Amino acid sequence: MARIPTREIAERPEGYGGPNLSPVGLELRPHELAGNVYALMANIPPKDNNGLVAGRDAALVIDAGITPEMSARIQETTATLTDRPVRYLVNTTYHGDHTFGNAAFPDEVVIVSSRVNKENMNDLAFEKQVRSGNMYGDAALLDTITEWRRPDLVFDSYAEIDLGGRLVELHHFGPGNGPGDTVVYVPEARAAWTGNFLCHAGIAHMLLQGGPVPYAESLRRMRAALPDLETLVPGHGPMGDAREAVDTLLAYLERLHDDVEASVRAGRSLEETYAACADPWAEGLDRRLVAAIEGYQVPRDRAVQGMLALCRDLHRLNVLATYRLYRAG
């Protein structure tokens, strides 16, 4: 079995676009999932989503934004939704679009994430370099980031935070998009904020620092641990049905593994492997995904075509990352 890389793959397929992570034009739209439990959804996909959970005594924010200015807007939004003080900030991943805003939160806010996420927050220059490729002309906004504030409190596989009459569960099920993906689950709402670990069914995920086999094992652990989970709030893209999303991603990962493993064993080149791996988006987007993105502040045709191009780009990236991993293994 190939070992999980210690750093995200920096190579990208020829012609790759990737997700637009620039905060320019980004607004957060609150969706209340239960009393004082909010999904903060980006108005333009696939820019970053966030979350807010409040209890009797305190509030918790999910992910910090890509710049200090975006972090300030997240905090302004939360202040309109609850008068409870923000005491906790959870990072679902170490990636800069979720963590560069950490330093803009007050010092008394406790930042929490998996131990593995913290361990991967060790090279700010490299992280800024990688994320700048997804800023679409706005990379200069990252110049203001001179400090990468790391989590204050870490856990290995499970932790609980009591906000006062409201329990929030934190889970690390194993490697997925990255090695330390953290899932935030609110049992009362049957909702989870999944970061880059799990998106709406039909959206391509990114295998940036791992492989399809351990990713699939992590998803099965999530399914077993959270049988009552209904709604997922991903780090990017629309909310969706959690069970459907897990099943869809598992099927994709299993097919990706089989196709790339067979290609490597056959001695095919990377270009030959691209051609040999089935593209689930060759015929377009799933109609349920089309319906889910129709509510965005983007013309329908533009949103659909943009998401389709992104999914096909990400699939090629997954083929490349898996090919390099299996060749190295």
pLDDT in tens, 66-97: 999 999 999 999 999 999 999 999 999 999 99
Q: What is the mean pLDDT of residues 313-322?
A: 97
Q: How confident is the model at residue 264, as a pLDDT?
A: 97
Q: How confident is the model at residue 260, as a pLDDT?
A: 98
pLDDT for residue 182 is more than 80: yes
Band (pLDDT 50/70/90 cuts) for residue 9 is confident
Residue whose C-alpha is closest to residue 66's, from 235, 182, 188, 180: 235
Within 8 A by CB and 6+ apart from 209, the residues are 4, 5, 7, 8, 9, 175, 177, 178, 179
pLDDT for residue 1 is more than 60: no
Q: For residues 298 and 280, which has the higher predicted lDDT (pLDDT)?
A: 280
Integer Cα distance of 170 and 35 in angstroms? 19
Q: How confident is the model at residue 3, as a pLDDT?
A: 66
> Are the C-beta atoms of residues 264 and 327 closer than 8 Å to each other?
yes
pLDDT for residue 283 is more than 80: yes
Q: What is the mean pLDDT of residues 176-204?
A: 97
Q: How confident is the model at residue 128, as a pLDDT?
A: 96
pLDDT for residue 297 is more than 90: no
> Are the C-beta atoms of residues 220 and 11 closer than 8 Å to each other?
no
Angle in degrees, CA 245, 224, 312, rounded to 5: 25
Q: For residues 322 and 9, which has the higher predicted lDDT (pLDDT)?
A: 322
Write the CATH number of the domain with boundaries 28-252. 3.60.15.10
For 163, phi then psi, to 5°, come to: -90, 5
pLDDT for residue 2 is more than 80: no
Q: What is the mean pLDDT of residues 50-58?
A: 98
Q: How confident is the model at residue 323, as a pLDDT?
A: 97
pLDDT for residue 278 is more than 80: yes
Within 8 A by CB and 6+ apart from 222, the residues are 171, 173, 183, 197, 198, 246
Q: What is the mean pLDDT of residues 277-292?
A: 94
Average pLDDT of the chain is 96
Residue whose C-alpha is closest to residue 318's, from 243, 213, 221, 193: 213
pLDDT for residue 215 is more than 80: yes
**pLDDT, tens digit, 9 for 90 and up, residues 90-128:** 999 999 999 999 999 999 999 999 999 999 999 999 999
Q: What is the mean pLDDT of residues 251-270?
A: 97
Q: What is the mean pLDDT of residues 17-46?
A: 96
Burial of 178-213, coded b for 16+ CB within 10 Å and e otherwise, reads bbbbbbbbbeebebbbbbbbbbbbbbbbbbbbbbbb
Band (pLDDT 50/70/90 cuts) for residue 171 is very high
Band (pLDDT 50/70/90 cuts) for residue 328 is confident
Burial of 253-289, coded b for 16+ CB within 10 Å and e otherwise, reads beebbebbbebbeeebeeeebbeebeebbeeebbeeb
